[in-house]
Structure 1
Amino acid sequence: MWIVFSLLAALVTATVVTLSKAGIKNVPSALAFAIQSVLIIAVAWGTVVWQGLWPEVARIDRKSWLILLAAGVLTGVSSLLSFKALSLGNASRVSPLTNLALVFSVTLAAIFLKEKLNWQILVGVALMAGGAIVITLAEPSE
């Protein structure tokens, strides 16, 4: 089931990139991100309430709070950087580079989470990185 959710997340992310690029044509990238963030907060907390998870907030330990807060700040920084990149470049070239996060995620998971990497994962990471490089170096079609 994780594969289905992963593919749906990828499809939604691709749609978000496309809509964001279209939406920032006449709007500063930081303002566009702020507008989307308000809606993200509403959807996220709405989901927490709808699923009855509100009481769980009090049960989160200090270490988890710190990790989640750090991840939240980095998510915001990542989104601001992505919006800025989209405001300056074509979505078809920006998105592959921002999706090098996949390569970095595999690397960081191996280092910090001690996840094991096999040859298939390493080949996949190399192909993803290679694809992003090829797209980045391609002549822009204008």
Structure 2
Amino acid sequence: MWIVFALLSAFFAALTAIFAKIGIKNVDSDLATAIRTVIILILAWGIAFARGGTAAINSLSKQNLIFIILSGIATGLSWIFYFKALQIGEVSKVAPVDKLSVAIAIVLSVIFLHEKISFLGIMGVLLIICGTILVIYN
């Protein structure tokens, strides 16, 4: 089932790039990110309340909170830089560079989480990097 959610994530990430590029025309990218964040905040809390996810809030450990907060900071910075890149660049170039996060996440998961990566996994990471380079310099 995770693959369905991952594919939906990819689809909505693609829509994000298209909608954002249209939406930030003649708008400060930081303001656009702030507006987007409010919408996401409302949506995320609405889903958490509707599905009963908030019931477990008291069971979060200090480590859970620290890393969720760090993840939120990283996400916020990612969005700020993404919107700025979309504002001045082409979606067809910005989006693939942004997706280098896939290769970076794999490398970081091996280093910090000690996840295993196969030869084919390494080749996949290299192909992602090469593909991104090809798209940028086409």
Give the alignment's TM-score, normalised by structure 1. 0.95
Give the alignment's TM-score, normalised by structure 2. 0.97
Distance 1:32 1:126 in 2: 33
Distance 2:42 2:72 in 1: 15
Distance 2:29 2:129 in 1: 26
Give 2:35's aligned residue.
35
Give 2:73's aligned residue.
73
Give 1:115's aligned residue.
115
Quote how far apart the aligned CAs of 1:38 are. 0.4
Secondary structure of the residue aligned to 1:25 is: coil
Give 1:6's aligned residue.
6
Superposition CA RMSD, Å: 0.7
Give 2:61's aligned residue.
61
Instruction: Identify the range of structure 1 (53-62 vs 97-106) with the bigger mean alpha-carbon deviation.
Output: 53-62
**1:131 lines up with 2:131 in the alignment:** yes
Distance 2:52 2:15 in 1: 29
Give 2:18's aligned residue.
18
Distance 1:53 1:94 in 2: 34
**Structure 2 unaligned runs (5+)?**
none
**Structure 1 unaligned runs (5+)?**
none
Quote how far apart the aligned CAs of 1:120 are. 1.4
Give 2:48's aligned residue.
48
Distance 1:54 1:110 in 2: 32
Which amino acid letter does the alignment assign opposite residue 110 of structure 1?
A: V
Quote how far apart the aligned CAs of 1:3 are. 1.1
Quote how far apart the aligned CAs of 1:119 are. 1.3
Secondary structure of the residue aligned to 1:26 is: coil
Distance 2:135 2:125 in 1: 15
Which amino acid letter does the alignment assign opposite residue 136 of structure 1?
A: I
Secondary structure of the residue aligned to 1:117 is: coil
